Amino acid sequence: SGPWAQPCLITVSVLCPGALMGVGDVVSQQLVEQKGLRGHSGRRTLRMMAIGFCFVVSAQPSLTWIWPAVQVANFYFIPLNYRLAVVQCVAIVWNSYLSWKANQP
């Protein structure tokens, strides 16, 4: 851990949520809503990424039980070297849901 560690940690802390929100929106548009490439809204994906870069607010507070449940299962059943991957996979599913919910007509 050198002098670059703190700025690197801050950068990753900002970029990861934005990237995960973007991937979640792409999954939502392509797999859930089945818009296809021509119907895909890049503007919507960029908007969701911006939300992830700045802040993440739950679209449905009643589903916030998911994260504690995931973390309990993650710490009890998942080996240490796979925990980050599990959280990131669940984050993509969660962000897909948030994107779909936020863009309902």
- The pLDDT assigned to 93 comes to 85
Looking at the predicted structure, is the pLDDT value of residue 79 above 70? yes
Q: What is the DSSP letter of 31?
A: I
Residues 6+ apart with CB under 8 A from 70: 86, 87, 90
Q: Is 27 left (phi over 0), alpha (psi -120 to 50) or beta?
A: alpha
What would the pLDDT profile of 13-55 be if each residue is shown by its tens digit? 667 778 888 888 999 999 989 999 999 999 999 988 887 777 6
pTM of the predicted structure, to 2 decimals: 0.56
